[in-house]
Structure 1
Amino acid sequence: YVTACREIVSRLYSDLITVLKIPFQHIRIKTILDPDDEVIVFAPFFGEYRQYAANFDAKIVIVQPNLETFQPDLADLEAKITARTKALIVNTPNNPTGVIYKPQTMEQIGAILEKKQAEFGTDIYLISDEPYRELVYDGNKEDFLTKYYRNTLVGYSFSKSLSLPGERIGYVVVPDEAA
């Protein structure tokens, strides 16, 4: 019944509009977190992510970067995922470093998340926070992370790419295949 109910509600409310992207971030986080759950972030990270988790009595788990490349330390990621892990927030290009996570890195992250979901029998969501996705240079491009992992939730804001500070206009994508 839960699956049938979810499908009916999602058809009725497939387009949801909020005043800002931030409230949707909170809605998105609230729907997947219970008290004492964990949200993983890659250091360095946008400081408000800590509040996203704290608002719902969850905790932030920090994965350190490789200090030469600023790509996430994937062994550290795999070691820190537990049965309480509900989400990984990814921000690429990264705020504050500007580092773009390589496609190979994202493929490996997707594989690690799939493996850990199966190991713990839980859903783990990759929350892709993408306000800087169009601010890439020198021939670089930013892939949509939905291509690497099915449980990816994408949030985008036009405020950065269109130089509209304070105008939190954007969108959220939840692929059909997401749990």
Structure 2
Amino acid sequence: MVVVVVDVTMRYAFQRPLGWSYDLIGTYLMVCVFFFALSDTLHHHGHIAIDIFSPTLPRKLLHISLAVGYGLSALLLAMIAWQAWYRASAAWNANNLISVTVPWPTWPSYFMVVVGSALITLRCVLRTLTHAASFVTGRELADLPTLPITAVSESEHGV
């Protein structure tokens, strides 16, 4: 936000916009914000979830289905991290630069994808293991999201 505020101020107050702000934001900052927020969002159960049937499923079935889902997600995210590592190392070795006003190197944005994907992969592996352990032991070892509040409250709709 600081870069955007400075760019807007320079553009409209001094007619001298920052020529590199768009490239910095698009190449590095947006990638960083997106990929570094993935794992924390999963930790807080902030990703979109279809939980229509979860309250009605038997606990063991819920845990095994979540273990399978998180396991498959971990595999996919590990492939993304591995591919991003491959691209980051190739960009590093070739000294790739984007062709704009300021020739920024491309490897840092790939490296941010590696770190963010690796973190969410680890969190998915942890969830896979805890849900599998909950399935096997029958104890609630996994962190489940809270159920949504679906009842109409007194302050809602003037009731």
Structure with the bigger RCO (C-alpha within 8 Å, sep 6+) is 2
TM class by shorter chain equals under 0.3
TM-score (norm 2): 0.26
Q: Which has the higher helix share?
A: 2
TM-score (norm 1): 0.24
Q: Which has the higher strand share?
A: 1
